Structure 1
Amino acid sequence: MNEDELKKIIEAVIYAADEPMSLNRLMSLFPEEGHPGRDAIKAAISQLQEEAAERSVELKEVGSGYRYQVRQDYAEWVSKLWEERPARYSRASLETLALIAYRQPVTRAEIEEVRGVSVSSQIIKAFVERDWVKVVGHRDVPGKPALYATTSGFLDYFNLGSLGDLPSLAEIRDIDSINEKLELSLPGESKELIPDEDIAEAESAETEELAEPVNG
Structure 2
Amino acid sequence: MPDHRRPYRRETEERRREDLIAAALDLVAEGGLHAATVRAIADRAGVTPGLIRHYFTSKEELTRVAYRRLMQRMTSDSAAVLLDAPDDPVARLASFVAASVSAPVADPVALGLWAAFLHDVRRDASMRAVHTAMYLDFRDMLQGLIAALPRVASDAQLRTEAIACNGVIDGLWMEGSILAEAFAVGEIIAIALSATGSILNVDLTSAYKPDRNIP
Instruction: Report the TM-score when normalising by structure 1.
Output: 0.26
> TM (normalized to structure 2)?
0.27
Question: As a proportion of its length, which structure holds more helix?
Answer: 2
Q: Which has the higher strand share?
A: 1
